[in-house]
Structure 1
Amino acid sequence: MPGHRLAPDIPDDQTAHRSDAGDRSTLDSTGDTGDRDTLDSTGDTGDRDTLGDTGDPVAVLDGERRHLAASRAALRAMREHAQSLSADAAGDWVSQQVLQNLLDQRVAALADHADTPLFFGRLDRFAADDLPGTVHVGRRHVHDDRSRPLVIDWRAPISRAFYQARPADPMGVRLRRRFGFRGGELTAFEDEPLDEGAPIEQSRILTEEIERPRTGPMRDIVATIQPDQDEIVREDLGRTVCVQGAPGTGKTAVGLHRAAYLLFTHREKLARSGVTIVGPNGAFLSYISSVLPALGEVKVDQTTVTGMLGGHAAPEDPAVAAVKGDARMAPVLRRALWLHINKPEDGLLITRGASRFRVADHEVREIVASLRGTTRYGPGRAALAQRLAHTVLVRMEQRGESPDDRVQDAVARSAPVKRLLDQVWPKLVPAQVLFRLLSDEAFLTAAAKNDLTAEERQTLLWRKPPRSWKSAKWSAADGALLDELADLIERTPTIGHLVVDEAQDLSAMQLRALGRRCRTGSATVLGDLAQGTTPWSARSWTDVLTHLGTEGVVTELTLGFRVPREVLDFAARLLPSIAPDLAAPRSLRPGAGSLTVRPSADVLTDLAAAVRGVLGHEGSVGVITADAAAPAASAALTTAQVEHDVLTPDGTPAHRVCVIPASLAKGLEYDHVVVLEPADIADAELRGLARLYVVLTRAVTTLTLLHTRPLPGLLG
């Protein structure tokens, strides 16, 4: 294979990624040549010359295996050392708890996953600096008992060349080596010389790793990150990045790996401010849950937008939710809050001993007017109390008294001031304001002004209001409105970095809520405009960034690595209808024979046969149906004695076969997908064709369509 030097077929039962082209392989001081000293327990042989092209590939592989064993032993020692540390040295109980928590995180981060290789690549460098001449690149840093690095973290600056180096710009690297693994065992290697100027063809090991069937949760992609993905991953913390990613381009993985990279590069800062992953539903979060821990990052919060905004999930008409999600609700809510400010009917009278001090009603009005709208509602109420008390102190000084700050605080807490505050600037919680807005037509009209039409106002009003705001059941759309009001009352705490996946599905008000949480931080925004399935789905990323309240760079990933070309081209027939401005995605995997479109007299009868037909192949199986049809599909599989799960919003499947309601399919992938009645999926909701596009692009090996009704739209 031009541009590669590969290990020949090696007689090893565990070899999964063999390459039988070429007869040359390189090995430096980390390997074994057969006629030189073998590696010691640290994987170091001293300053031996690098072995040339005559090296024995079997010996090279054996040497690399010894280096892996030494690295695993060193990682165990690092973990045992961390476990031996005690928090008792801290001075007090609180400090001990904080220190113990940090030690527990350190121990968890040093866990060795038996089925995951510690390193996946190696760089042989032109040693023109103080850095090592040979670097093994892996998921985390590993050093021996003399602090010598055995594995370098993939996020370290020196590791960037593993992803970016090429013959035109070798970045100080003369040879890049990739390793093949099965489970945690090293089975093969492949060399790419970068100092010969020859173009490098696609790595077979890299291709096989990308195409490897998957079961269970999502895996990390550190071994297969492509140069354009790596550029996104390594963007600086201070920059918000928006990624438009077609199906199979790895946008979700890129976002997760960027979070891991930022935690590595800005550890101290993000340890204080935090990193949060926001996904579309609990099933998606369960699917991605193992990625960051596998990279040694255990201190990352994962949630949904609904969970972040209070967990409200009362059912609601999509038309009502669409109005509530519109950005025009922001000024309506602001007016609704400040309409609770009342004109004072009387002034303030404070009695202290035999003295009386009065603040006239017109003075109170002036103070209220000076504060209204210039601060948040909660601090404004507190400031009013202090301003009134300060005015009283001025009266005291005018009479020759010498009051201090303690007197001012006492006046601010006095009963007359509290009564005046309750009358003029009442204490409020978000639910009180929203309850009044949705149940009082006159109040809604006053707050809406010209921002909402009469029809939209009628859409928002409750037909049967709850008895009080305390008994109200709020919807997910209400959650964003309550959050907006909460920020108008008290400032929302910020997060250091936010990763938002499937962002195209968020309403403007939900995006505003997320933007408030990273107003002093940054965000990684991920999505695909073609996969927008909500009534308020974004039509442009410029709009999304505007609602987030941030400036960012928009980058597009159009080259897919997972979805077969035959499947992706078939699904892309829907793009002119759902996203005409997007370029059609491309796939590196031809996938001949991966698509089967099968007319059926009864899809439920034929379902079991279709599932059994793919169970003979490796990988997971997803049966995707319209939401309403999921119980019937499950019953059909049960009758046919096919073990399976039915995916729920917060569920984690335990079996290889899973029935997936179409509304939960976004962000997931399965090796083999069977889609029942595509027309039913398309007809089930307003943006049903976009939902169908999502469903058709979940397959990474085969896609089978069973249908009795004609295929919708351009698919036919």
Structure 2
Amino acid sequence: MPGEKPDEPDPARPTDNPAGETAVLEAERAYLAEARAALRAMRESAASLTADTAADWVSRQFLESLLDQRVAALADHPDTPLFFGRLDRAPATADAAPGADDDLPAALHIGRRHVHDGDAGRPLVLDWRAPVSRAFYQAGPADPMGWARRRRFGFRGGALTAFEDEPLDGRALGTSALLTAEIERPRTGPMRDIVATIQPEQDVLVRAELPTTLCVQGAPGTGKTAVGLHRAAYLLFTHRERLARSGVLIVGPNRAFLAYIAAVLPALGEVRVEQATVDDLLGAPTAEEAAPVAALKGDARLAGVLRRALWLHIAKPTEGLLVTRGIARYRLDEHEVRETAAALRGTVRYAAGRAMFAQRLAHQILVRMERRGEAPDDRVQDQVARSKPVKELLERVWPKLTPEQVLYRLWSDAEFLRTAARGALDDDERAALLWAKPYRSHRSARWTRADRALLDELADLMERTPALGHLVADEAQDLSPMQLRALGRRCAGGSATVLGDLAQGTTPWSARSWREVLEHLGLDGEVTELATGFRVPGEVLDFAARLLPGIAPGLAAPRSLRPGAGSLAVRRVPDPVGAVPDAARAALERPGSVAVIAPDAAVAACAAALEDAGVPHGTLGADGTATPGDERLWVVPATVAKGLEYDHVVVADPAGIAAAEERGAARLYVVLTRAVTSLTVLHAGDLPAGLA
């Protein structure tokens, strides 16, 4: 029968003869072909559905969008294995383990998505996120979870080439060769998913429940980014309806990073997740400022300053309100207007308070009308609230404002800033915040990246920011307290996955404690650590870790499962830029992606040297945008390298990277740990302190 498993040896023992291995391999290939055919049938069935039955145009558009997403989610990627593992049940016994569900078949294939036989509805491949699939990652001799054997598959492109069996009864087989090969497989292009290689400690984090906010401190190569992305995929699978309404957002450090991770979730069938940088959310900066000023603006104390600055715009009423309707005149005394404003001031958001102030004044006028024997309704109250006397009073007492108007006044009016910052900022700090040369108006003002977070804070004080169901924030150690508050508002009613490495903090406001990060986000979360690297070779990681005592003395040095002997080459050369072409050519002789990472100021020179030497390459700009070229070799500015990985990395002028900014040593640590196969360091003078 199609889909039935062939007769095989005892599932508790791996196959140990060539003929048997060939037979098993052929059977699995046939099963893969059947599963691919079933997936095609599922996609064709989804594509044949129409939205013609919808009751109206809006419903039809919505239904068509859902159907398009369903078809996209069922796309088969011929170069990606449809399943990567299999679980085999233990032989039935009287005392069978309670962890095995009696309704489950004797063998389960685990893959990136669910595939079923359209005729019988029989599952051919189970989604890796399904509860029963947890055993593929967690089962072991201590708790086989009712299963006897775990099988891993080796693929080349989309073709099944090998398999490897692991008994779960305690007979150790050593390190999985297929698992190691998949982790070390050279890469080009964007980041791949890791569903075939998720480790038990990673799986626990991936399957953390939706209400849990998770904060992951992860050393380079520990897979923290992959954990965050796969947790998003898991939550979308487990809480599909809820998160479809509220949304999931991935926030990354720059556009190059987002482009790098863009293919992961679609490969897992999730095509509705939005990705953005902080600048995308808050607005791109149009001005630069000194690092100390940016750090001060990013300080959480500014939240209180902004709140006071906003509410200082409410003036004390100095006169009452007179409303004329026909021949009748209705008056509120000054103290009544003042009491109405005072009751609302600071208790609601500014814009809502302004609207409520007008309505409460109008309501008091209606009370006076009723006392005269009139019978006004709600429409009359709205008319009074929109009347000229009420509008004029509203502008005098509770003026309409924009965030830009408030912040412009703060940075250009010393007395206003002094009043708003009383008790929060000292004289020197206020002087640093004031513009040396104020702009003509808030409309002509240019805003820095730190200003954008303050404007977002003011916008939320005026009107509530819409919240999401879940937010994934990567490289969160680089966010200021005010930027973290901005992200926290966007998941105020949900949860978050916070990822980063305190040792890789490169901004003037870089976090020193994950507890502080969670506090600024306004979330109560669990802090955990991934300290074992799977991607970066140990020799490279140990070299980079020499910088840790100077940049993150509280962190233990990370360790790698890959020794990586011979993966590091440190060369003293007369001219690092001039040596780049030869080093790049040598790296290109090996499979995988290659990056030349240099100080931002030297990127153009490195690109020119490669051009002159006839070495094809692409270049990443300072904003993360790519200038197309050979996809195997990229020239990358040091400030854009965070979060990216390449098989082979050539670092030109490490001292220049370290000297380029205040936290340059941390930037250099980031750059040195981008290599997953080999690292070549080209330097002319002495290496930076700690590396020598």
TM-score range, shorter chain: over 0.9
Summarize the alignment of residues 363-402 of structure 1 with structure 2, pairs less than 5 Å apart.
363-402=336-375
Q: Does 1:707 align with 2:683?
A: yes
Q: Does 1:173 align with 2:132?
A: no
**Match in the other structure for 1:593:** 566
* Post-superposition CA distance 1:282-327 (Å, at most 9, x none): 0000000000000000000000011111233422222221111000
- Paired AA for residue 23 in structure 2: A
Summarize the alignment of residues 354-433 of structure 1 with structure 2, pairs less than 5 Å apart.
354-433=327-406
* Post-superposition CA distance 1:587-638 (Å, at most 9, x none): 0101111111100111222211111111110011110111001111111111
Q: Does 1:147 align with 2:121?
A: yes
2:199 to 203, 216, 226: 226
- Given that 1:174 and 1:193 are in contact with CA atoms closer than 8 Å, whether structure 2 keeps it comes out as yes
| Distance in structure 2 (CA, Å) of the matches to 1:482 and 1:125 | 58
Q: Does 1:304 align with 2:277?
A: yes
Summarize the alignment of residues 215-364 of structure 1 with structure 2, pairs less than 5 Å apart.
215-364=188-337
**Match in the other structure for 2:637:** 661
Distance 1:181 1:48, change over 3 A: closer
| Equivalent position SS for 1:533 | coil
Distance 1:476 1:128, change over 3 A: closer
| Equivalent position SS for 1:111 | coil
| Equivalent position SS for 1:89 | coil
2:4 to 36, 44, 64: 44
Distance 1:128 1:225, change over 3 A: closer
**Match in the other structure for 2:670:** 694
Instruction: Using structure 2 for the length normalisation, give the TM-score.
Output: 0.96
* Post-superposition CA distance 1:329-348 (Å, at most 9, x none): 00000011000000112111
| Equivalent position SS for 2:458 | helix
**Match in the other structure for 2:411:** 438
| Distance in structure 1 (CA, Å) of the matches to 2:349 and 2:105 | 55
| Equivalent position SS for 2:52 | helix
How far has the Cα of 1:486 moved from its partner?
A: 0.4
| Distance in structure 2 (CA, Å) of the matches to 1:239 and 1:456 | 38
* Post-superposition CA distance 1:399-421 (Å, at most 9, x none): 12222212111111111111111
| Distance in structure 2 (CA, Å) of the matches to 1:566 and 1:673 | 14
- Paired AA for residue 410 in structure 2: L
**Match in the other structure for 2:78:** 114
Summarize the alignment of residues 528-567 of structure 1 with structure 2, pairs less than 5 Å apart.
528-567=501-540
- Given that 1:283 and 1:664 are in contact with CA atoms closer than 8 Å, whether structure 2 keeps it comes out as yes
How far has the Cα of 1:398 moved from its partner?
A: 1.5
- Paired AA for residue 272 in structure 1: R
- Paired AA for residue 219 in structure 1: R
Summarize the alignment of residues 591-670 of structure 1 with structure 2, pairs less than 5 Å apart.
591-648=564-621, 649-652=623-626, 654-655=629-630, 656-670=632-646
* Post-superposition CA distance 1:402-445 (Å, at most 9, x none): 22212111111111111111110001111110111111111111
**Match in the other structure for 1:583:** 556
**Match in the other structure for 2:170:** 197
**Match in the other structure for 1:672:** 648
| Distance in structure 2 (CA, Å) of the matches to 1:313 and 1:158 | 51
**Match in the other structure for 1:4:** none
1:459 to 432, 452, 476: 432
* Post-superposition CA distance 1:324-381 (Å, at most 9, x none): 1000100000011000000112111111111110001110000001100111101100
**Match in the other structure for 1:84:** 48
How far has the Cα of 1:46 moved from its partner?
A: 9.4
Q: Structure 2: which 5+ runs fail to align?
A: 91-99
How far has the Cα of 1:133 moved from its partner?
A: 2.2
| Distance in structure 2 (CA, Å) of the matches to 1:202 and 1:343 | 75
| Distance in structure 1 (CA, Å) of the matches to 2:426 and 2:537 | 47
**Match in the other structure for 2:95:** none
- Paired AA for residue 4 in structure 2: D
| Distance in structure 2 (CA, Å) of the matches to 1:442 and 1:157 | 61
| Distance in structure 1 (CA, Å) of the matches to 2:20 and 2:584 | 46
Distance 1:631 1:47, change over 3 A: closer
**Match in the other structure for 2:179:** 206
- Given that 2:616 and 2:629 are in contact with CA atoms closer than 8 Å, whether structure 1 keeps it comes out as no
- Given that 2:472 and 2:496 are in contact with CA atoms closer than 8 Å, whether structure 1 keeps it comes out as yes
Summarize the alignment of residues 118-137 of structure 1 with structure 2, pairs less than 5 Å apart.
118-126=82-90, 128-137=101-110
- Paired AA for residue 181 in structure 1: F
- Paired AA for residue 149 in structure 2: L
**Match in the other structure for 2:545:** 572
- Given that 2:148 and 2:167 are in contact with CA atoms closer than 8 Å, whether structure 1 keeps it comes out as yes
49-58 or 486-495, which deviates more? 49-58
| Equivalent position SS for 1:590 | coil
- Paired AA for residue 304 in structure 2: P
* Post-superposition CA distance 1:145-204 (Å, at most 9, x none): 12110100000001000000001100111111000001011000000111x322352211
665-674 or 125-134, which deviates more? 125-134
- Given that 1:286 and 1:651 are in contact with CA atoms closer than 8 Å, whether structure 2 keeps it comes out as no
Count of matched residue pairs:
675
Stretches of 4+ aligned residues off by more than 3 angstroms: 45-55
2:24 to 53, 60, 63: 60
| Distance in structure 1 (CA, Å) of the matches to 2:652 and 2:594 | 13
| Distance in structure 2 (CA, Å) of the matches to 1:88 and 1:476 | 48
**Match in the other structure for 1:7:** none
2:496 to 523, 527, 531: 523
Distance 1:48 1:286, change over 3 A: closer
Q: Structure 1: which 5+ runs fail to align?
A: 1-38
How far has the Cα of 1:45 moved from its partner?
A: 5.6
| Distance in structure 2 (CA, Å) of the matches to 1:97 and 1:381 | 37
- Paired AA for residue 562 in structure 1: R
Q: Quick one: percent identity of the two aligned structures?
A: 69
371-380 or 458-467, which deviates more? 458-467
Distance 1:654 1:118, change over 3 A: farther
- Paired AA for residue 616 in structure 1: E
197-206 or 148-157, which deviates more? 197-206
* Post-superposition CA distance 1:205-264 (Å, at most 9, x none): 000000001100000000000000000000000000000000000000000000000000
How far has the Cα of 1:651 moved from its partner?
A: 2.4
**Match in the other structure for 1:8:** none
| Equivalent position SS for 1:216 | coil
Instruction: Using structure 1 for the length normalisation, give the TM-score.
Output: 0.93
- Paired AA for residue 233 in structure 2: A
316-325 or 417-426, which deviates more? 316-325
| Equivalent position SS for 2:308 | helix
Q: Report the aligned-residue RMSD.
A: 1.4
1:103 to 67, 75, 79: 67
| Distance in structure 1 (CA, Å) of the matches to 2:253 and 2:101 | 48
* Post-superposition CA distance 1:530-581 (Å, at most 9, x none): 0000010000001100000010000000000010000000000000000010
* Post-superposition CA distance 1:52-103 (Å, at most 9, x none): 8577110100000011111111111111111111011101000010000001
**Match in the other structure for 1:16:** none
How far has the Cα of 1:391 moved from its partner?
A: 0.7
- Given that 1:306 and 1:313 are in contact with CA atoms closer than 8 Å, whether structure 2 keeps it comes out as no
| Equivalent position SS for 2:510 | coil
